[in-house]
Amino acid sequence: MRPFKTLRLATRDYLHEWQMSGCFILALASVLGPMLVLFGLKFGIVGGMIDQLVQDPRNREIMPVGSGKFSAEWMTELRKRSDVEFIVPRTRSIAATIQLKSSNRSNIISMEVIPSEAGDPLLSALANGPDGLESIVLSKSAAAKLKVGVGDEISGSLVRRFKERKERAHLDLRVAAIAPADAFPREAAFTSVKLAEALEDYRDGHAVPMLGWKGSVGTKARSYPGFRLYAASIYDVANLHDGLVDLGIDVRTRAADIELVQRMDRNLSMVFWAIAIIGLVGFSLSLGASLWANVDRKSKELSVLRLVGFRTGDIMWFPMIQAIYTALFGWGLAAAIYHAASLTINDMLASQMNVGQQVCDLLPIHYMIALGLTAGSSIIAAALAGLRSAKIEPSEGLREI
């Protein structure tokens, strides 16, 4: 029953002294608000940048140097490794081109063919990948040059010299999707492995029955000169690199770039943690100091409550309840300040960021952590101050003024 009475009295006091309470709330928000903005910036900019660097598939690519002879089975084995995210065979680069023509453009454009399949890190942003012998994905620049969009029909063709004669084969294709500009900078068509193989077979003079292309029929086991390999994360690249080198396969990676990214990640995180810790300490001290001072200011009133018979425990709740109010309202105001600041910052820099990327960003969990820290340190400060004032003999508190 008495805790409820304390709650009522503390609330009435808090409202009665609304100017003082407002000052405490403002003081808290003015420290917490900028802290939230700082964290939002760290999380938005640095987090986003690091994410981008860490996630960028090009940093995870492992490219074989020169050409080798790799079997499909060997690649299947490699795919099973946990540090491998994606691997598809490449056909010979000289055979991996196709000439495309759209109804919107008169010229025929020749572009490279990149074998792909579901899970291709370069195409991870797309809903549809290349599929079967008809469906392909164009790079952004290829689509621009052909003036085509998703779902458009285009015709492909390729030429070979067969039995001293120049032959041209045609096939109908459909644009399943267009890869974003940063996935692949040049003009290229992502096709299924099967289509890339068909193109190579035709150029080698073999028949491709599925497309109705005639030629020699052979049953030679296929081997590939190269592969497209991506490690699961940038941290797996070095290990994968060493494994392949041990097998006598010379590969190239962006290890140096990765090292740079990792170092930057570490250094920036350190700088931000240093700022954050200094900020947090300052924040806790200012909050603690103001709550402590407040309890001191109120010691006479608290003594009066003891005089009318409130117990020590009830008295301690009094400043704690008020500290909780200050923490809640201060946090709310700080969140509003942060919200306004982040909207402004994001709006100002929107043109320089990728779509969906935020310069200043916080997740709901961050708000909750801020509230937890604020309420926690407020309650501790108020409880310590309350305990101190509860320990003073009431007669002393009463005669202070």
Q: Which of 86, 202, 213, 310 binds another protein (CB under 8 A)?
A: 310
| Residue 151, token pair as written in the block | 């779902």
User: Considering the rule CB under 8 A, would residue 5 count as an interface residue with another protein?
Assistant: yes
Cα–Cα distance measured from residue 393 to residue 299, given in angstroms and rounded to the nearest whole number: 11
Encoded amino acid at 2, one letter: R
Q: Which of 172, 250, 301, 347 binds another protein (CB under 8 A)?
A: 301
User: Considering the rule CB under 8 A, would residue 256 count as an interface residue with another protein?
Assistant: no
Piece of the chain touching another protein by CB under 8 A; list 122-130, 270-278, 333-341, 389-397 = 389-397
Mind giving me the DSSP string for 172-211? Answer: EEEEEEE--TTT-SS-EEEEEHHHHHHHHHHHTTB-BGGG
Least distance to another protein from the beta carbon of 276, Å?
Answer: 38
Nearer to another protein, 77 or 393 (CB): 393
Q: Which of 23, 150, 276, 304 binds another protein (CB under 8 A)?
A: 304
Cα–Cα distance measured from residue 211 to residue 156, given in angstroms and rounded to the nearest whole number: 12
Q: Which of 127, 221, 308, 365 binds another protein (CB under 8 A)?
A: 308
User: Considering the rule CB under 8 A, would residue 147 count as an interface residue with another protein?
Assistant: no
Q: Which positions from 11 to 30 touch another protein by CB under 8 A, shown as an x/- string?
A: -xx-xxx-------------
Piece of the chain touching another protein by CB under 8 A; list 105-113, 184-192, 356-364, 390-398 = 390-398
Could you identify the residue written with the tokens 């924040």? 283
User: Considering the rule CB under 8 A, would residue 58 count as an interface residue with another protein?
Assistant: no
Cα–Cα distance measured from residue 138 to residue 115, given in angstroms and rounded to the nearest whole number: 12
Least distance to another protein from the beta carbon of 294, Å?
Answer: 14
HSE (side-chain half, CA atoms, 13 Å) at 224: 22
Residues 72 and 221: beta-carbon distance below 8 Å: no
| Residue 143, token pair as written in the block | 């689509």
Cα–Cα distance measured from residue 231 to residue 7, given in angstroms and rounded to the nearest whole number: 59
Per CB under 8 A, residues contacting another protein are 1-2, 5, 9, 12-13, 15-17, 300-301, 304-313, 393-396, 398-399, 401
